[in-house]
Amino acid sequence: MMKTLNFEYDVVILAAGDFPTSVTAMRILRHAKHLIACDGAVEDLLEMEIEPEIIVGDGDSISQTTKEKYQHIFHTIAEQEDNDLTKATKYVLQHFNLTDGASFCYLGATGKREDHTLGNIALLLHYYKHFKINPTMLTDYGWFTPSHGKTTFESFPRQQVSVFQSYCKHIESQGLKWNLYPFKEFWQGTLNEATGYSFTIYSDSTYLVYQTHQPKE
């Protein structure tokens, strides 16, 4: 299996964290097949003259004027068990005709409150394992991708790479500066580096990979 950073995804979900500004993120936003916005992100999106296909949320983070204007695409989900990112993801899975393994890109899911950022990043593995989708979370600095087993990732020399795992009894790598091992602490797989144009991870469980857009100077 080869993992690469795409520019077109089956579904793009915009959350209410830091609004993306990179060329890559804006390209993904403007070319989304299906663009879903969490209600707290709608105002910023509309300022870019981009309209979502669907707006999902509990309605407490959107102005009444905008809510009334877009009531035909606004879907209020009041339950508080899930955050807006998960509500939007579940809505898509329930109402869109997608196949298993559909590609999702999450934008605006980091920044602002650190607890929201950490929670959203952690949700990627949950979505991957339980929702049967292929999610990517993109920021202006890099992107997160979950995977399992043997996976090859497209990269470039001196790209900064971090790997997060918690259940692997076996994990190793080829093409990274420091070989992976079944580390016990969450931080032990951070601050690694690609040595070439791809690297491969071998594991008996799931893991989360972060790759930077730019090489280390």
> What is the pLDDT at residue 122?
94
| Confidence (pLDDT) at 210 | 98
The DSSP line for 116-170 is: HHHHHHHHHHHIIIII--EEEEE-SSEEEEEEESSEEEE--TTEEEEEE-SS-SS
Burial of 45: CB neighbours in 10 Å, binned 0-12, 13-18, 19+: buried
pLDDT in tens, 146-182: 999 999 999 999 999 999 987 888 999 999 999 999 9
The proportion of the chain whose per-residue pLDDT surpasses 90, expressed as a percent, equals 70
For the stretch 46-67, pLDDT in tens is 998 999 999 998 777 788 888 8
pLDDT tens track of the chain, all 217 residues? 778 888 889 999 999 999 999 999 999 999 999 999 998 899 899 998 999 999 998 777 788 888 888 889 888 877 777 888 999 999 999 999 998 899 999 999 999 899 999 999 999 999 999 999 999 999 999 999 999 999 999 999 999 999 998 788 899 999 999 999 999 888 999 999 999 999 999 999 999 999 999 999 8
Q: What are the φ/ψ torsions at residue 153 (nearest 5 degrees)?
A: -115, 130
Tell me the CATH number of domain 1-140, given options 3.30.2420.10, 3.40.50.11540, 3.40.50.2000, 3.40.50.10240.
3.40.50.10240
Within the chain, which residue ranges are assigned CATH 3.40.50.10240? 1-140, 142-216
User: What CATH class has 142-216?
Assistant: alpha beta
Tokens of 64: 């009444």
- Is 123 within 8 Å of 86 (Cβ atoms)? yes
Report the DSSP beta bridge partners of residue 144.
Answer: 137, 210
CA distance 128 to 133: 5
What's the pLDDT score for residue 34? Answer: 95
Q: Which residue has the tokens 């009894």?
A: 169
